[in-house]
């Protein structure tokens, strides 16, 4: 029940075709998604949209690890 919002977010991303866009950006930068997320969050040049993607990536990774 607690992860219902995550399922809705994933479904919305699938409809929009944006699944994996943050991972692709991280791969282009030559970093793992968690390293890239840290860099995006700490950078003042990052856009709000990219910071939101980084935050969502961190939240999903936390739940994958069982946190």
pLDDT tens-digit readout, 27-51? 999 999 889 999 999 989 999 988 9
Helix axes 48-64, 33-42, angle to 10 degrees: 140
User: Does residue 1 carry a pLDDT above 60?
Assistant: no
pLDDT at 67: 56
- Name the residue among 21, 28, 29 with its Cα closest to residue 52: 21
């Amino acid at each position: 029940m607690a992860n219902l919002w995550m399922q809705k977010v994933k479904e919305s991303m699938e409809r929009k075709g944006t699944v994996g866009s943050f991972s692709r950006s991280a791969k282009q930068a030559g970093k793992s998604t968690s390293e890239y997320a840290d860099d995006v969050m700490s950078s003042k040049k990052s856009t709000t949209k990219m910071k939101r993607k980084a935050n969502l990536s961190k939240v999903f990774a936390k739940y994958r690890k069982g946190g």
